[in-house]
């Protein structure tokens, strides 16, 4: 069983709150994490029809059968339970009695804000990070292999073929989760939209342009994009435009929280195909951006991640806001060191009084320093965001 970096934060949160809610995409390891951290807790999975029926029709009977301390999986399936959990938590002085997991961010946030405000600690768990693979002695740290395989726990724990896993994951998500969250009239159009998004990784997505390709209105696409974000399929990286006025872009970029799913949607079925794919640089950037996000979430912090682009096309791939300081970061899939990689960082340092020396995250092994800017191999991404 793989250890997870968020375990320390989970333990601390359970010492401070009566309820802990773990959010994250399906199959990211939420249940395993909860049971690994709290092995003696009772367990109820609301995806099981009989258990869900009991929770829906007889909540008091449910809590009689599953008293605290208890792990309740997929709590968004029966959000009515949250009101009962509120009352039970208020009547007890104990901490960490209810460990909840959920896959739909927006739905859970709405329910939690109404019923458990101030009573629950919120954590977000994404699939394995490179740092976790290193700690657990996994040798699959090759750039293209990681992009192809992705980071789903089952791939590493059960040696499942990535293409097969992501095909089933994609079909299950579209067939079940999407139907639960919105009324999609054409699943084919929705699937096409997801594939087109994969081809636009790292770009500011123009929904009006996509509307013609998909055959639905831009308003509908905006709703679909929100659903993808709410179910942890995509991550929107916001722009940093403070103090830059009209010079900077103010729309977010789109990334997939699971790089392996993006590779699958692009038709990549072998690691060797990544090397030749015209979007290799985009896929590598996606992987590094999500590694930065994982590092922040696993430490219990806010992402504080941005990008910068001005109206002249000058861009910094990633901005990490660290306190009052801004750390500019360039991401390059190349394995060969090039001192020109720091040019965008140096430009940003000139226009921003809050900018510090930055870093270039790339696929090479050399780690020189130019004008105070470090070169870092992508496998060590997490160290930058501690």
Q: What is the DSSP string of 240-281?
A: P-TTTGGGB--S-EEEES-HHHHHHHTT--SHHHHHH-TTHH
CA atoms of 328 and 356, how far apart (whole Å): 7
pLDDT tens figures, 264-300: 999 999 999 999 999 999 999 999 999 999 999 999 9
pLDDT tens figures, 320-369: 999 999 999 999 999 999 999 999 999 999 999 999 999 999 999 999 99
| Per-residue pLDDT at 107 | 67
**180: confidence class by pLDDT, cuts 50, 70, 90:** confident
CATH number given to 130-287: 1.10.10
CA atoms of 34 and 100, how far apart (whole Å): 9
| CA distances from residue 120 to 69, 87, 171 in whole angstroms, order as listed | 14, 13, 33
Domain locations in the chain?
A: 7-124, 130-287, 305-385
**247: confidence class by pLDDT, cuts 50, 70, 90:** low
**Which tokens belong to 6?**
């968020």
| Per-residue pLDDT at 246 | 58
Give the residue from 329, 309, 327, 326 showing the smallest Cα distance to 318: 329
| Per-residue pLDDT at 16 | 96
| Per-residue pLDDT at 89 | 92
Cis peptide before 69 (omega within 30 of 0): yes
CATH number given to 7-124: 3.40.50.300
What does the angle CA 18 – CA 19 – CA 20 come to, to the nearest 5 degrees?
A: 130
CA atoms of 382 and 293, how far apart (whole Å): 9
The answer, yes or no, to whether residue 248 has pLDDT greater than 90, is: no
First to last CA, the chain: 25
The answer, yes or no, to whether residue 372 has pLDDT greater than 70, is: yes
| Per-residue pLDDT at 76 | 87
Query: Strand, coil or helix: what is 331?
Result: strand
CA atoms of 1 and 33, how far apart (whole Å): 10
pLDDT tens figures, 184-205: 777 888 899 999 999 999 999 8
């Amino acid at each position: 069983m793989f250890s997870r970096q968020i375990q320390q934060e989970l333990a601390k949160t359970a010492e401070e709150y009566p309820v802990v809610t773990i959010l994250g995409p399906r199959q990211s390891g939420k249940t395993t994490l909860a049971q690994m951290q709290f092995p003696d807790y009772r367990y109820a999975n609301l995806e099981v029809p009989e258990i869900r029926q009991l929770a829906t029709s007889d909540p008091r009977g449910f809590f009689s059968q599953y008293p605290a301390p208890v792990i309740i999986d997929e709590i968004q399936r029966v959000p009515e339970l949250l009101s009962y959990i509120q009352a039970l938590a208020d009547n007890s002085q104990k901490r960490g009695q209810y460990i909840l997991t959920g896959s739909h961010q927006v739905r859970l946030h709405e329910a939690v804000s109404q019923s458990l405000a101030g009573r629950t600690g919120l954590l977000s768990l994404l699939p394995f990070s490179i740092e976790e693979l290193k700690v657990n002695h996994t040798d699959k740290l090759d750039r293209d292999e990681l992009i192809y395989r992705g980071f789903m726990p089952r791939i590493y724990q059960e040696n499942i073929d990535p293409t097969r896993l992501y095909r089933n994951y994609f079909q299950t998500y579209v067939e079940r989760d999407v139907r639960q969250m919105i009324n999609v009239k054409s699943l084919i159009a929705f699937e096409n939209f997801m594939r087109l998004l994969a081809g636009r990784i790292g770009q500011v997505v123009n929904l009006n342009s996509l509307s013609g390709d998909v055959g639905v209105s831009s308003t509908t696409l905006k709703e679909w994009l929100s659903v993808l974000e709410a179910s942890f399929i995509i991550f929107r990286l916001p722009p940093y435009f403070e103090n830059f006025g009209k010079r900077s872009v103010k729309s977010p970029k789109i990334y997939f929280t699971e790089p392996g799913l993006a590779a699958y949607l692009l038709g990549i079925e072998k690691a060797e195909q990544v090397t030749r794919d015209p979007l290799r640089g985009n896929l590598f950037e996606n992987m590094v951006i999500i590694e930065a996000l994982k590092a922040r979430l696993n430490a219990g912090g806010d992402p504080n991640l941005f990008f910068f682009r001005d109206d002249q096309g000058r861009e910094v791939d990633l901005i990490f806001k660290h306190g009052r300081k801004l750390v500019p970061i360039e991401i390059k899939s190349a394995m060969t060191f090039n001192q020109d990689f720091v040019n965008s960082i140096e430009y940003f340092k000139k226009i921003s009084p809050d900018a510090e020396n930055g870093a270039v995250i790339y696929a090479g092994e050399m780690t020189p320093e130019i004008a105070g800017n470090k070169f870092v191999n992508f496998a060590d991404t997490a160290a930058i965001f501690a």
